[in-house]
Homo-oligomer: A and B are copies of this chain.
Amino acid sequence: CCNLVHGAKISNKQMMACLFSFLVSTDLLPADSGEGVTFAFLEQLMDILLQYILKSFDRSTKVIDFHYPNDLLEGFNWELDEQPNTLEDILMSCRTTLKYAVKTGHPRYFNQLSTGLDMVGLAADWLTSTANTNMFTYEIAPVFVLLEYITLKKMRAMIGWPGGCGDGIFSPGGAISNMYAMLIARYKLFPEVKEKGMAAIPKLIAFTSEHSHFSIKKSAAALGIGMDGVVLIKCDVRGRIIPSDLERRILEVRQKGFVPFYVSATAGTTVYGAFDPLVAIADICKKYNIWMHVDAAWGGGLLMSRKHRWKLNGVERACSVTWNPHKMMGVPLQCSALLVREEGLLQSCNQMNACYLFQTDKQYDLSYDTGDKALQCGRHVDIFKLWLMWRAKGTMGFEAQIDKCLDLAEYLYNKIKDREGFEMVFDGKPQHTNVCFWYVPPSVRYIQDKEERRNLLMKVAPQIKTRMMAFGTTMVSYQPQGDKVNFFRMVISNPAATQEDIDFLIEEIERLGHDL
């Protein structure tokens, strides 16, 4: 049957397209004799996806075909109606959607920490969609539950916890993983909080660097700790926490009678890519009996690299670690893990023993029903794409890919550090693939008045970015940080990027910005 449709497709593509203008979704499986139409429909869809994949890797195509929200809203009929649309309309909607999508796999897309389009990861994600199940019980996701178990253990072993012991869970993103960590740290110290709430326990204070991710504060707000329960520790010029400042602030807090309960160190900050000094932080956490979390959402991938993993030295002393394979390791979105050193905490902190789901009289080993560890009830299968990519590449494949990205960042740094018109935001070789710099157009380059220069420079990156998106040739992010006005933050996590793409980026910024 499959071959027949394959045949039909080649010789009768036009006929099929014509047919689709009469057919609707109820003609697809599970309709009686729906196989032929279903296979033809999915093949057409595959054609559309394969063309998109080809274009994603083609440097001669745009990264983005940008349109303003209102233009995009009004330019097409996106409305949801009472009546069904034909399969032809559905395929057309797919084409239109991809036409205006950002090609996040494009070798010149550098806009976020998650870039690239891994073919094995993609295949795994298609399979995951097809299996369409839920992680809460072994009963309905036997293989995926086991693969999560195996992969989490492997990740813990790479962190350096003996024998890969401990616990963990895949969560919908780094922010939620960080929230889990704060939640269980609080529970570990004051288990009564689960029953009685924050009113029954002393005021808790968490510590993190001023360069850390906003999810630490967001977690504190959500968990009822409050944003004022997060103390931001000073960083050095490279964005790394200053341990002596951390210790000073802990003592300060204790003197006030509050309870320092949580330090969130960062391994790979979002903007600078800085690695906090984990060993020094671990010493302080040990001294004051504080939960040490490492937010390695971005930097965790470096554990795969023999050349770079020293940057995370001390991570093995953490109580919990956030590690997002969807960032540096290029796994399709979403794939974020929280790893916990102490077994059983996740379960006792979050379990509610819902008997409609976690029946205690099942025939199999109930320790595989991991759903009650989660804040979620249903949980998407995020594991398969990571597991399959790991099988395909081996640890050494991830290592090669990550080392290459770090080499490219160094290449970029070396090219612009002394280049006219470029100014580094901080000195020295980048620790991660983040390269932060200003482009200073000729009109601003020689201005002596600091305030005037600053005010002009602030507007440069946004203007270049606007032009960049209008041309659609490349995408890179910018932002201010502290007292530094808008600068470009270049990040490289796409294995498709090469030195030529870096060269292109530099020249494109000059081309788009020189007349500003």
Contact = CB atoms under 8 A, between A and B. Distances in A.
A144 B97 CA distance: 8
A267 interface: no
A104 B226 contact: no
B392 A133 contact: no
A79 B176 CA distance: 27
Interface in A457-484: 459, 462, 465-466, 469, 475, 477-481
A383 to B, nearest CB: 11
Interface residues of A, number: 178
B105 A132 contact: yes
A433 to B, nearest CB: 15
A172 B196 CA distance: 27
Given A30-B107, A50-B39, A179 B375 contact: yes
A351 to B, nearest CB: 9
A496 interface: yes
Interface string A83-107: 1110101100110111011101101
Interface in A338-382: 350, 352-357, 359, 361-365, 368, 374-381
B72 A142 contact: yes
A84 B392 contact: yes
Interface string A17-43: 000000011101110000100110111
A425 to B, nearest CB: 13
B130 A391 contact: no
A355 B200 contact: no
A393 B84 contact: yes
Contact of A134 (B217, B333, B397): B333
B53 A130 contact: yes
A491 B12 CA distance: 42
Interface stretch (A117-125, A234-242, A274-282): A117-125
A305 interface: no
A68 B130 contact: no
Interface in A108-134: 111-112, 114, 117-120, 122-127, 129-134
B333 A378 contact: yes
Contacts of A224: 193, 197-198, 223-225
A183 interface: yes
A214 interface: yes
Nearest to A171: B172
Given A122-B130, A333-B133, A481-B355, A46 B42 contact: yes
Contacts of A93: 388, 391
8 contacts: A29-B496, A94-B127, A104-B133, A126-B129, A140-B475, A173-B377, A175-B377, A334-B378
